[in-house]
Amino acid sequence: MGLPTRTHWPKGDRVIQIVSLSFFRFAPGLSRLWAFTMMGLARPALARVPGIGFWKLCGSGTGEGFTPKPNTGVYAILATWPDLATAQRQTAEAPIFRRYARRAIECYTLYMQTTSARGAWSGVAPFDPADATGTGPVAALTRATIKPLVALKFWRRVPDISTVIGADPNVAFKIGIGEVPLLHQVTFSVWPDTAGMAAFARHDGPHARAIKAVRDGNWFREELYARFDIVAERGTWQGAKPLQHLGVGA
pLDDT value for 232: 95
Sign of the alpha-carbon dihedral angle for 161, 162, 167, 171 = positive
* Interval 204-233: pLDDT, tens: 555 555 566 656 656 777 889 999 999 999
In the chain, which residue ranges form alpha helices assigned H by DSSP? Answer: 30-41, 43-47, 84-93, 95-103, 151-167, 194-202, 206-217
Is residue 52 domain-resident? yes
Residue 77: inside a domain, yes or no? Answer: yes
**Once rounded to an integer, what is the mean pLDDT over residues 49-61?**
96
Distance CA 137, CA 35 (A): 30
Report the pLDDT value the prediction gives residue 2, as an integer from 0 to 100: 42
Predicted local confidence at residue 7, as pLDDT? 38
> Is residue 41 over pLDDT 70?
yes
Using CA atoms, how far residue 47 sits from 42, 94, 96, 100, in Å, is 9, 11, 10, 15
The reply to whether the predicted model has a pTM over 0.75 is yes
Asked if 200 contacts 78 with a C-beta cutoff of 8 angstroms, the reply is no
Q: Are strands 106-119 and 18-25 parallel, antiparallel or unpaired?
A: antiparallel
Structural domain count, the chain: 1
Residue 25's nearest CA partner among 109, 89, 87 is 109
pLDDT higher for 185 or 141? Answer: 141
Give a yes or no: residue 105 inside a domain. yes
Does 118 score more than 90 pLDDT?
Answer: yes
Whether 45 is covered by a domain: the verdict is yes
What is the pLDDT, as a whole number, of residue 164? 56
| pLDDT at 177 > cutoff 80 | yes
Q: Is residue 51 part of a domain?
A: yes
CATH at 99: 3.30.70.100
pLDDT tops 80 at residue 23: yes
pLDDT band with cut points at 50, 70 and 90 for residue 3: very low
Q: What is the pLDDT of residues 144-168, one digit of tens each?
A: 887 777 766 666 666 555 555 556 6
Is residue 125 included in any domain, yes or no? yes
Q: Which residue has the higher pLDDT, 174 or 221?
A: 174
Mean of the per-residue pLDDT values for the chain?
83
Confidence of residue 67 (pLDDT cuts 50, 70, 90): low
Q: Which residue has the higher pLDDT, 217 or 42?
A: 42
pLDDT of residue 34: 98
Structural domain for 211, as ranges: 15-236
In this structure, is residue 250 part of a structural domain?
Answer: no
pLDDT of residue 9: 43
Contact 112, 199 (CB under 8 A): no
Assigned domain for 2 exists:
no
How many whole angstroms separate alpha carbon 26 and alpha carbon 129? 33
The per-residue pLDDT for 145 is 81
